Structure formats: C-alpha cells, structure tokens
Amino acid sequence: MKLEDLTQENLMEIVRVYEEICGYGRDFRKAMYQEPASVLENLRLEKQGDYRIGSKWDGNSKLFLNVDHNNHVEVSFNSNFDPRERKGKKYDEAEKAGQEFVSRVNNYLRKK
C-alpha cells in the first residue's frame, strides 16, 4: 500500500492484528496514539515511526511503521528483549509471533 492510500482504518486493522498476535504490554492508546491521525501525519512527515507498545512477552516490544523508497508502507516488529535474555521458549515464541504479525500485515497492505 502506498503511503498516500494509508487510512486511519488501515492503521486500526494493523493494531487489531498486533493485539491478536502479540498482545499489548501497556495501554496501546497511551503508548502509540495521540490519535490515529497524528500517527498518519508523523508517518507522512518522517517516513517512519516506532512505537514501544509492548507485547504479552515484554513491555518494551516495538511496532515499526516504515515507508520504503517506492513510498510503500511496511511494518516490522522487535521483541526488544534484553540481549542477555534472547534465548529460551518465551523469546522464541515472541520472535515467531512477530514474524507472523509482520507477514499478515504486509500481506494485508499489499492487497489494499
């Protein structure tokens, strides 16, 4: 999806998928949104945004929104575990879920 086509409704779908797969580590609206419109405005100005909204595995997990050189919106996920804790079942589960989230949302954005 091109940046100029991204809507507040699209952002809310991204958030819904994030919550479904990764959960929240903190209050999402306080952590990411002032309002969805401000996220769109920031993305249009800065071409990127990272939001420490947490996950069910770690309160420091991040959702990234980026705009590539062709002006397409992409998402990524960083479980953001402490480097000393990047092993074990919890970390592996977070990384796998993050990959699923990125895949589902990027597929959604491509279809729009």
What is the DSSP code (8-state) at residue 60? Answer: T
What is the C-alpha to C-alpha distance for residues 75 and 31, in angstroms, rounded to an integer?
A: 17
Encode pLDDT of 28-58 as tens digits.
555 555 577 888 998 999 999 888 888 998 8
Place of tokens 């100029």: 4
pTM of the model: 0.86
Encode pLDDT of 22-35 as tens digits.
987 665 555 555 57
